[in-house]
Structure 1
Amino acid sequence: MSDSRLFKFPKPQWMNSANSRTAGVYLAGALFSLALFTLVDAATFSKSRLNGSNFHMNFVDWIPGIFSSVGMLIINSIDKTRLSADGFSYSGDGVAWKARVVLFMGFAAMAGGLAGGVTVLALKYVVVEASWPALWFGVANVIANALVMLSSVVLWVSQNMEDDYTYNLAL
């Protein structure tokens, strides 16, 4: 076994095909649309007459989702090869450390979105002891932010798979 490998088990060959890359992109889109649907469904239900409570979703409930979406956009805008472009040297363009800083900002925005969703759930719904139909608004917020994070992971992995055919096509 090579000393340069990180894990003991090799990566499966089916993960390097163009079909698995396309399936990953579609799966990430499905997860993101499910997250957006969950958030919009909770917001629509909160404004309907069927709600029957004094709890309604307002802009405060949307802020964590906005942060998670912006973080996803930032993270998936960075090419994986840019992260190791110049190592840790300070000579040259310095592309790698800039990419790492921007990647950190994207992860921080996504983590802040998820933490904000949990905070909104705790402070707005759990502390005041909301009953279940109203508690769904906070739970939907946390679920939506978690799905955005999962979608970002799936999209990052699928976009950065190394396929010899597409790599040579780009050259």
Structure 2
Amino acid sequence: MSRLGETRRVCRVRLPNVPLAMRSNVRVLGVYAAGALFAAGWWFFFDACVRSAHAQQPPPEGEPFTPPPVAIKLDDWAPGLCTMIGLIIVNLVDKQHLFDEGSLHDWGHDPVLWRARTWLFVGFACLAGGMAGSLAVLIIKYMLNEHAVGYVELGVAGVMQNVAMMACAMVLWFSQRTESDYEYNLTL
């Protein structure tokens, strides 16, 4: 038997309470964290691009040079760009259209809600397609290619880039759903 006012713990481990000073800045902290994730993702990939370009450079004259069998090309760039386009689309959708009280009951006749959901689907499809593409490049180009031994980290950097950008999209999504200090809801 449970009482309505009773509070029960869901987890065995008690999670720490968020300090009151941080509660008012959750949105700002979320945006900063998302920016850091986005920058970290591209940092991983640009680092792999620099290492790939450095491996393509011939040594000084007189030393034998065989170029590496794999290098970062367009097929490595495409998943990250697709994920970035998905990130932009998902965060451009006005979430107010998705969570309006009137649209939740009569969603079959609201064209704005349908357009918002369609664009959101396209954005999440781009995010998923970019992630799947980076995994495909990692597996096909770097792991199954017997000549690419020692260059797997180039493919791993592409996957890490996409994981960071998908995490960025999630953090932005949830941080933009919180109320800002400058938003006021006036209802009568």
Considering only aligned residues, what root-mean-square deviation do their CA atoms show, in Å? Answer: 2.8
Structure 1 contact 67–110 (Cα < 8 Å) conserved: yes
Change (3 A) 1:144 1:170: farther
Shift of 1:99: 0.6
Change (3 A) 1:15 1:113: farther
Query: Which one is further off, 16-25 or 50-59?
Result: 50-59
1:131 aligns with 2:149: yes
Shift of 1:17: 3.5
Which among 80, 83, 98 is matched to residue 83 of structure 1? Answer: 98
Higher fraction of helix: 1
TM-superposition CA deviations, 1:8-27 (whole Å, max 9, x none): 89x97859844121111001
TM-score, structure 2 as length reference: 0.75
TM-superposition CA deviations, 1:122-155 (whole Å, max 9, x none): 11111113223x1111110001001000011011
How many percent of aligned residue pairs carry the same amino acid?
35
Change (3 A) 1:125 1:49: closer
Change (3 A) 1:140 1:32: same
TM-superposition CA deviations, 1:95-130 (whole Å, max 9, x none): 112111110110010000000000001111111132
Structure 2 contact 107–113 (Cα < 8 Å) conserved: no
Shift of 1:54: 2.0
Change (3 A) 1:44 1:21: same
Which among 26, 29, 33 is matched to residue 32 of structure 2? Answer: 26
Change (3 A) 1:50 1:60: closer
Q: Which residue of 2 aligns with 1:106?
A: 123
Structure 1 contact 14–20 (Cα < 8 Å) conserved: no
Distance 1:76 1:149 in 2: 12
Distance 1:109 1:15 in 2: 36
Paired positions, count:
162
Matches within 5 A, 1:14-163: 17-49=23-55, 53-85=68-100, 86-87=103-104, 88-91=106-109, 93-129=110-146, 130-132=148-150, 134-163=151-180
- Which amino acid in the other structure matches residue 73 of structure 1? I
Structure 1 contact 15–21 (Cα < 8 Å) conserved: no
Q: Which residue of 2 aligns with 1:166?
A: 182
Larger Rg: 2
Matches within 5 A, 1:4-23: 17-23=23-29
Structure 1 contact 15–161 (Cα < 8 Å) conserved: no
Distance 1:101 1:122 in 2: 31
Change (3 A) 1:89 1:151: closer
Which secondary structure state, in structure 2, belongs to the residue aligned with residue 168 of structure 1?
Answer: coil
Q: Name stretches of at least 5 consecutive residues in structure 1 with no aligned partner.
A: 3-7
